[in-house]
């Protein structure tokens, strides 16, 4: 239940974030990966499983794909992969992103 509440909270925070903060994070891929890496690290310290973190990443990716324009070619590629993947492929991509950004924290 706690993991479910954290998932909803992350989606709400993404939607409520100021446009200026979104621009700063999405300005380049390293900023995006560092921001995501810090959030993954925080989630792990709170005891969230990799599965729960990946589900959170899915919610954020859904939000970004629907509401934000990619700011660079890496984000454009991620968006296209996300939009063309089915739910299982998106879930796998979320796991891969979680593992990848752990190097950026």
Torsion-angle region of 39 (φ positive above 0: left; ψ -120 to 50: alpha; else: beta): alpha
Domains, the chain: 2-101 (1.10.760)
Q: How many CB atoms lie within 10 A of CB 16?
A: 8
Global confidence as pTM: 0.75
Q: pLDDT, tens digit, for every residue of 1-53? A: 455 555 556 667 767 777 787 777 777 888 888 888 998 999 999 999 999 99
Give the long-range contacts of residues 44-48, CB within 8 A, separation 24 or more. 46/6, 48/3, 48/6
pLDDT of residue 5: 56
Phi, psi of 97 (to 5 degrees): -65, -45
Q: What burial class does residue 57 get, using C-beta atoms within 10 Å of its C-beta: 0-12 exposed, 13-18 middle, 19+ buried?
A: buried
pLDDT in tens, 60-84: 899 989 988 998 899 999 999 999 9
């Amino acid at each position: 239940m706690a993991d479910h509440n954290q998932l909803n909270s992350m989606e709400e925070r993404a939607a409520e974030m100021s446009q200026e903060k979104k621009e700063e994070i999405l300005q380049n891929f390293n900023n995006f990966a560092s921001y995501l890496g810090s959030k993954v690290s925080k989630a792990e310290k709170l005891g969230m499983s990799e599965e729960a973190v990946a589900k959170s990443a899915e919610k954020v990716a859904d939000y970004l794909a629907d509401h934000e324009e990619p700011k660079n070619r890496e984000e454009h590629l991620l968006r296209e992969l996300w939009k063309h993947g089915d739910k299982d492929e998106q879930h796998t991509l979320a796991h891969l992103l979680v593992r990848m950004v752990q190097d950026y924290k």
